[in-house]
Structure 1
Amino acid sequence: MAFALIAHDYDDALERRLACREQHLARLRALAADGLFLGGGVLLNEQGKMIGSNVHLGFEQREALELWLKDEPYVNEKVWETVEIREMRLFSPN
């Protein structure tokens, strides 16, 4: 099942985001190696400042995604203020 994770940062989160960014990216690389990271990236404001994330994940169940999220550095280090998880259908050009 595919999920979209849309997260918005705390207003003062930029330094915390940068401090734990490599941990966050390492976790996404591990998901990619398991075929669970489907795509995503950083959300930017009009000035190009990082203000959130949009991640597409392929967990079999929402509960597995929520379990993974409990160890996410951007959650634990208070980078993401809000996290919305939505089930989605990915577009396939085939």
Structure 2
Amino acid sequence: VKEGRQMSESKERELADGRIYSAQQAKSNGLIDAIGYKDKTLKDLKKAIKVENPEIITFDPEESNLTSFLGMKSFINGLRAELKDVKSIINNESQTRPMYKYEG
């Protein structure tokens, strides 16, 4: 930040204390150049980098880290349920169960 924004290290440390800034606060503190919408930002970026049709990769909020984590949690809970069923089958004496025969 200090290099890209020509900001002193003391100012950088003052701002980098974990707070979340509104767009207006970020602009006032020199963290961003402007406040705008995606279309205008992309138009300005294309002009700045002199590329007419850049490949734009977007972030899908449906696949955020939190969503992925919650999906993984559901998956793990499903595995736990299946493991419980497998344990029940293995421990139930009245049903066929897997066994190992040692002839040594």
Query: Taking structure 2 as the reference length, what is the TM-score of the superposition?
Result: 0.20
Query: Taking structure 1 as the reference length, what is the TM-score of the superposition?
Result: 0.22
Structure with larger RCO (C-alpha < 8 A, sep 6+)? 1
Rg: which structure is higher? 2
